[in-house]
Structures are given as structure tokens and as C-alpha cells.
Amino acid sequence: MKIVIVGGGTGGWLCAARIKQKLPEAEVTLIESPNVPQLGVGESVVPPLRLFLQELGFEDKDWMSQTGSIYKLGNMFQNWVYNKGEKHFFTFNYNLSEKYMFSDQVNLDIGPWLNCNHADTRLSDYWLDLYNAGIKSPEELNPDTDCQHYFMENLLSPYKDENYILNPLWSSSLHVNADKLGSFVRDNKALSMGVKHIKSHIKEVVLNENGVEKLITDQGDLSADYYLDCSGLGRLLIKKVSDSWKDYDFIPVKKCWVMPVKYDNPYEEMTNYTQSLAMSAGWRFKVTLYHRYGTGYCFDENFISEQQALDEIIQQVPEKNLIRSPRLLKWDPGHFSEPWTKNVIAIGLSAGFAEPMEANGLYLTISNIDETWRQLKKIHDNEYGVEEASRRYNHKSVILFNDTYEFLYPHYHLTKRTDSEFWKYQQHLNIKNGTEEMVRSHYRSPVNTTQMCGDGYTIYPDYIWAAMAVYYRCNTKNYETKINKNLIEKAVNHFRDFNSKWKSTSAGQETYYDWMKKNRFNGLEHSDLQNQLDI
């Protein structure tokens, strides 16, 4: 089987290494243009990416120290509801069904989490019931249910020496260095596995009835059985063979000013969580690495000009600390409903992109990559043909892209902010679209269960939809909770004990920066790594 991967960004190199690992007999060539740089943003990721890197054979210690990457425990949203400093940490946690929920969670096997499904009465149902009764407040949700809470609030290490002390099931993830991860995978895995690397610009894509016949490059023609399109937002191949593009109408941000920034004081600035900070006409991400952070203002140009957006973010970022000048990135939010068309398989950004919120980009990329090798293997093993393989790939890709889209846009619609025209307009869309009701339905959807997370169909399990409803002060009185009133006192005790257990466990922990410095960066200061890595 001859495979050509178009694109040498993070997506292309992750794809090359994984495809070669899973289909070792395939002849894999990766082509990237010397004239088109990789996007170089995209640093906050979700737990499956960590697993993906581990399965490629990378030990955290090896690759983190060489790229400046760190662990993240969640994503903090601030000022999205009232613009009065309100915040919520969206974390990686999983619901337990009633049967298991009063056990000591940390000592449980992961089985009980994976067996919890949408029809069960769940731990979050009890918390919601207490909230609806006025016994709990939105601010108590994080400490009552997230083992990561005090570690994030106080910037503490989740490790004792090398022992991870939080819930063992996918409770942490990563901030990765977008400029370095792809080349690290190239140099430390893909090339040594036998992936052929061509640096040449594709000048023309020649089509035939099967899709792509050949690629005409600066250095000659290239042909293959399958073409994996990892060309990013340019969508070099897929846009030529598929007319299945669908816009995401409710994503208001289509432009972003991005910039890498040095720290003044990493003890305070290097957060073990991503920051999503609401702005006057959109939001700003802040993703911290060991030696610097990346930040960007995603804005709606219907409400603010490019210059006004730049002025607004520059007021919040010390200009003296900019490592590079701000860059303006643009995209059209949407996705292909047939990202596998004929012999072209679009992966990650080239298959679609809504926006950076909630670290979804590389997750969708690795999900597409894994589904690609699985389906190509089925074809290779003669289990079924290309038509069935592409149907299955497209089905899964559409579920994932739409599930992500539906999790993102409520963050705008559910606001109660009235301090700018942008936020007032989002409130109007909530009413017009019925977004609050859509969020409620996801809380009991069969797609948003922990099991579906395990099967790679979602990264937004039930509890996180409830957390969204609570943070945005939605009406949750009509949520179907089905709790057993006889157990309510037990539940109250459970949340109290959970909260105090993690508070006291966190109390003795090292600061996050000190632990990272000692255990992942061989004692190197953040500024020394900054000098070594340059970016």
C-alpha cells in the first residue's frame, strides 16, 4: 500500500509515525513545502494525545524536556458569564453511577467509571439536586467534584516524586510546544521507522475518476494509493475532490492575534491549566509552557476591527516580553461531512476546524489518524472495501466534529453579559436557537458517556455539560436527576469528604514550577530553556 501524507506540521508528523507504526508494510512518504510554514499554534491538548504519544513509545521525561511541554489539569474559564471575575475550571473527570459513587474514588479500578452510562443515576445528579435545592453554589462544584481543584488554585504538582496522586483515569493532559512537537516526532520516530521525507512544494494536484492521480511538485511527480491530507487550513487536496463542506454558523470568531511571550515570574505565571479569558468581542487563550506561554485573542470582526483587537490584547500582555511580533490567523469555521472522498483522506485541520476553544484541534487530528489506519487495515485484510471504509470514517468524523461544535458555541450563547454588543448578540442567539435546552439534552445523551469517551466518540462526557450549565447559571431545575432521596445525606457527606480530602492532600505538595524543574527539566531554569529552544 503506497501512502502519501501531504503536510509536515504537527498533524502530518503524528500521522506519519502512527500510520507507519500500525501499518509497517505500507510505503509512507511525507511531503511538506519549504515555502508554507506550519501553523505553529495549538498548544493545549486533551488526555488522549498523551496516550497517543505514550503508545508511540515516548516517555514523558524524554520529549517534554526537549520541547518545553508541561502537564495541564484543566481549563479555566473566566468572565464569560457576568464579567465580574467569575471563573470555573473545566477538568478531565468522569461520572460514577450510583452503585459505585460512595466508594473511595481514587482506589477504584477504572472499570466503574467506564461502565457508567446515560441511563444511570450518577454522582453529578446528586450534586445538581443539592444545587437546585439551594444547598450548593456554583463556586462549590469544582472543589466538591474535581480532584484537581486545589492543585490548580494553588499551582501545585500532581506528582509526589514520580507518583501521580490524582484520579488515575485520564485526569491530566498537556500543554505542548506547537513549534517543536512535530519535528520531535519526525526526528525521534517517524524517520527511523522508514517514513520517506520530501521537502518540496506541490504546484498542482492532478485528478482522475478515483480522486487524485498524482501530485506535481518542484522535484517531480508523486503518486500513491491513498493521499492523507494534513495540509492544514489550506486543505490542498480535500477541497479539490469534495463539495461536502458545512459551515459552523454559531462560531463567531474567525480571526486570532497570536503571540509567544516570556515569563516575568514562572512561579505565578506558569499555570498547570489553560486559561480561556472572555474579552469584549471574543476570548483570549493563555497556554503556558515551561519556558514561555502562548496567547491569542480570537475575535468577531463584526464587532471589533483587527487593530482594536490587537490594542485590546496588547494592553494585557507586557510588550517587552513578546518573543515574536503578533501574527494574525484567519479561518472559516466548519468541516467536511465527507472528509474521506475517493482516495483522499482529510485529517485534522484539513477535515475541519471550529476554533481553538477547549483544546479540540489535535484531539480531532489524532482521532482521524487512528480511524484512518484502522480503516486502511480493514481494506488491506479484505474485510471490506474502500466504500465501506470511507463510510465508517466519515460517520465517526462527523459525530466528533459536531459534538465538539455543540460543546463550543454554548459558551457564547449562555452568557449573561450585557457590557458589549458582541455579548448582547450572543444572548439573542441563545433565545433564537434554544441553546440552553440543547445543553440539557447532552447531559443525558448516549453519545456523552464515559464509555463513548473510551471508544473515542466524544471528549465531553455528561458531567461537563452539567458543569457548563452550572457555571452559566442555567436553569437546571428541569434536569432529569432521578436521585434516591434516602441517599442524599450520604451524598452531602461524600462531597464534604471529597473536598477536604483533596484539600489536605494538596497541602503538602511541591509548587508546580519546582517539581517540573527538578523532575522534567533536569534543574534547568525556564529562562535557560528559553535560550536553548528559542521558541
Ligand X SMILES: Cc1cc2nc3c(=O)[nH]c(=O)nc-3n(C[C@H](O)[C@H](O)[C@H](O)COP(=O)(O)OP(=O)(O)OC[C@H]3O[C@@H](n4cnc5c(N)ncnc54)[C@H](O)[C@@H]3O)c2cc1C
What is the binding site for ligand X (CB under 6 A)?
6-12, 31-33, 36, 38-39, 41-45, 178, 201-202, 230-232, 234, 236, 256, 258, 287, 296, 329, 331, 348-349, 356, 359, 361-362, 365
When the beta carbons of 459 and 491 are compared against ligand X, the nearer one is: 459
The C-alpha atoms of residue 80 and residue 470 are separated, in whole angstroms, by: 12
CB contact at 8 A, 94 and 462: no
In terms of CB distance, is 101 or 236 closer to ligand X? 236
Q: Which is nearer to ligand X, 364 or 379 (CB)?
A: 364
Least distance in Å: CB of 36 to ligand X? 4
List the grid coordinates of 246.
458545512
**Closer of 14 and 474 to ligand X (Cβ):** 14
Helix (H) or strand (E) holding 378: helix 361-380
d(CA 453, CA 118): 12
* Amino acid sitting at position 281: A
What are the contacts of 320-326 at 24+ separation with CB within 8 A?
321/261, 321/262, 321/263, 321/264, 322/259, 322/260, 322/261, 322/262, 323/259, 323/260, 323/261, 323/262, 323/292, 323/530, 323/535, 324/259, 324/260, 324/535, 325/259, 326/257, 326/258, 326/259
- To the nearest whole angstrom, how small is the minimum distance from the Cβ of residue 239 to ligand X? 12
CB of 16 to ligand X, least distance (A): 11
Shortest Å distance, C-beta 156 to ligand X: 23
What whole-number distance in Å separates Cα of residue 268 and Cα of residue 282?
A: 25
Comparing CB distances to ligand X, the nearer of 10 and 83 is 10
CA dihedral 367, 370, 374, 379 (to 10 degrees): 90
Phi, psi of 415 (to 5 degrees): -60, 155
* Residue whose CB is less far from ligand X, 38 or 79: 38
Residue whose CB is less far from ligand X, 253 or 389: 253
Contacts with 507 (C-beta within 8 Å, 6 or more apart), sequence order: 150
Q: Which is nearer to ligand X, 49 or 152 (CB)?
A: 49
- How would you classify the pairing of strands 2-6 and 226-229? parallel
The smaller minimum CB distance to ligand X, of residues 113 and 353, is found at: 353
Q: In which residue are the cell numbers 487550513 written?
A: 233
Q: How far is the CB of 245 from ligand X (least distance, A)?
A: 17
Q: How far is the CB of 403 from ligand X (least distance, A)?
A: 15
* Rounded Cα distance, 77 and 283, in Å: 10
Nearer to ligand X, 75 or 157 (CB): 75
Cα–Cα distance for residue pair 403/458, rounded to 1 Å: 7
Residue type at 494 in one-letter notation:
H
Min dist CB 207 to ligand X, Å, is 15
Q: What is the DSSP letter of 119?
A: T
Q: CA of 148: how far to CAs of 17, 73, 172, 189, 286, in Å?
A: 32, 6, 9, 32, 19
The residue with cell 492543585 is 151
Report the nearest approach of ligand X to the CB of residue 225 (Å). 19
CB of 433 to ligand X, least distance (A): 25
Residue 126 CA to residue 495 CA, distance in Å, equals 10
Q: Is 124 helix (H, G, I), strand (E, B) or coil?
A: helix
User: Would you mind telling me the total number of residues written for the chain in this entry?
Assistant: 535
Q: Which is nearer to ligand X, 44 or 519 (CB)?
A: 44
Q: Give the nearest distance from C-beta 328 to ligand X in angstroms.
A: 10
Provide the minimum distance between the beta carbon of 215 and ligand X in the complex, in angstroms, as a whole number: 8
